[in-house]
Amino acid sequence: MRECTTQMDAARKGIITKELKIVAEKEHMQEEELRKLVAEGKAVICANKNHTCLNPEGVGSMLRTKINVNLGVSRDVKDYNVEMEKVMSAVNMGAEAIMDLSSHGDTRPFRQKLVQECPVMIGTVPVYDSVIHYQRDLDTLSAKDFVEVVRMHAQDGVDFVTLHCGITRKTIEQIRKHKRKMNIVSRGGSLVFAWMSMTGEENPFYEYFDEILDICEEYDVTISLGDACRPGCLADATDVCQIEELVRLGELTKRAWDHNVQVMVEGPGHVPLNQVAANMEVQKSICMGAPFYVLGPLVTDIAPGYDHITAAIGGAVAAMSGAAFLCYVTPAEHLALPNLEDVRQGIVASKIAAHAADIAKGIPGARDIDDKMADARRALDWEAQFACAIDPERARAIRDDRLPEDDHSDTCSMCGKFCAVRSMNKALAGEHIDIL
């Protein structure tokens, strides 16, 4: 692998890297089949050469759907150790990626700690960090300042970086002309837009894309092409601004691949349920099958407090239709910084969406655990049921809180002695069935 620059470069040279070997095994896939997908850009293995404790995962629509959890130090939660605890609990709950969106203080020590201790893929959004790193107003930063932050994150061992390369000065005109209801809701996208508006210059991530490709190639950092124009409400879904940016992301995908740099493409956003599958098809076609990383999509605008559910509905349909990677959404979305319980609920909702999609897509082995759960339910074996559950702790707590009153504790308090499972087990075994 050392003679190769990136996982894509190795795959194109016919080399099976140790990371690819691990991912193929996890995915129950032939190494050669996965190698071909990585070589074509249809699957990525985000593995920075400096992230030495990484347990690698692949991202691609033919692989298990992966989920990402956003965390990081902020003005309200400054304690590195508290945030690290959240990271490790997210990893234990099954998150395959952590995006460090730290936005306060000296962000570098936390990022470096994350790379040293966290075994899952780590992503960042360098434009957030630029203002914090330089401690200067946005309009005083030069294009090269942004590029240097990308370099610093790459050196620190970050596996993927979100770069909002797709909005250009033309986008400024589009946003003004098309009068979207929610304008730009991407935090990174709005910063790039604001910088371009204040300085009159072109998007630095677009203008210096070749230089950024050199950095990403050197460290094997996967570029996650950010969707600055992702719709922030149903009314803006699939509009000119979103599609125009997507076309540019397709062009940039091609340029990155020519450099052997791995690419994911980020996607919507708020999208009506009937447009979700079409959005996935359009992305696959324009971005030539590069893995699609979606936030949600949220299928209604009116459920603050429950947006982990609106996102899971959209995420399941998106992943079933080709999205490879789901960014979790918590109940606190649109309202506040998520607390530990919000993070937990967001992860569970995303895991359900990803798993449901994997079953629908026929991912090898995906349904095995559901079949195991059905066997455990038929046997009224509660311990075995908890072992199969996505959130065993919660399942156990609910049952224990409301156990049946009588001694038929093999049933639950939902139906008690009217338990259909118990009645059928007894009837088929020729036993007497006592109901009263």
Q: Nearest distance from residue 373's CB to ligand SF4, in Å? A: 12
Size of the site for ligand SF4 (CB under 6 A): 7
Name the minimum Å distance from CB 427 to ligand SF4: 13
Q: What's the closest the beta carbon of residue 398 comes to ligand SF4, in angstroms?
A: 11
Does 403 help bind ligand SF4 (rule: CB under 6 A)?
no
Nearer residue to ligand SF4 within complex by CB, 239 or 410: 410
- 302/428 with CB nearer ligand SF4: 428
| Binder of ligand SF4 out of 335, 397, 414, 424 (CB under 6 A) | 414
Residue 11 or residue 419: which is nearer to ligand SF4 going by CB?
419
Q: Tell which one of 420, 428, 429, 436 touches ligand SF4 (CB under 6 A).
A: 420
Stretch that binds ligand SF4, among 40-48, 136-144, 238-246, 411-419 (CB under 6 A): 411-419
> Is residue 194 involved in binding ligand SF4 (CB under 6 A)?
no
Give 105 or 404: the residue with its C-beta nearer to ligand SF4: 404
- Of residues 18 through 57, those in contact with ligand SF4 by CB under 6 A are none
Task: Indicate whether 395 belongs to the interface with ligand SF4 (CB under 6 A).
Answer: no
Counting other chains too, the contacts that 369-377 makes at CB distance below 8 Å and 24 or more residues apart are 377/421
Nearer to ligand SF4, 350 or 411 (CB): 411
Question: What's the chain's Rg over C-alpha atoms?
Answer: 23
Helix 143-156 to helix 209-219 angle (10° resolution) is 10
Nearer to ligand SF4, 70 or 411 (CB): 411
Q: Which is nearer to ligand SF4, 254 or 377 (CB)?
A: 377
411 contacts ligand SF4 (rule: CB under 6 A): yes
Region binding ligand SF4 by CB under 6 A among candidate stretches 121-129, 234-242, 325-333, 417-425: 417-425
From 288, 399, 412, 426, residue interacting with ligand SF4 (rule: CB under 6 A): 412
Going by C-alpha positions, the residue among 210, 217, 187 that lies closest to residue 99 is 187
For residue 286, the minimal CB distance to ligand SF4 (Å) is: 47
- In the complex with ligand SF4, the residue whose CB is nearer, 235 or 403, is 403
Q: Considering the rule CB under 6 A, would residue 335 count as an interface residue with ligand SF4?
A: no
Compute the least distance from the CB of residue 380 to ligand SF4, in Å.
6
CB of 384 to ligand SF4, least distance (A): 13
Query: CB under 6 A: which stretch of 64-72, 99-107, 313-321, 413-421 binds ligand SF4?
Result: 413-421
Residue 415 found at the interface with ligand SF4 (CB under 6 A) = yes
Q: Which residues would be at the binding site for ligand SF4 (CB under 6 A)?
A: 411-412, 414-415, 419-421
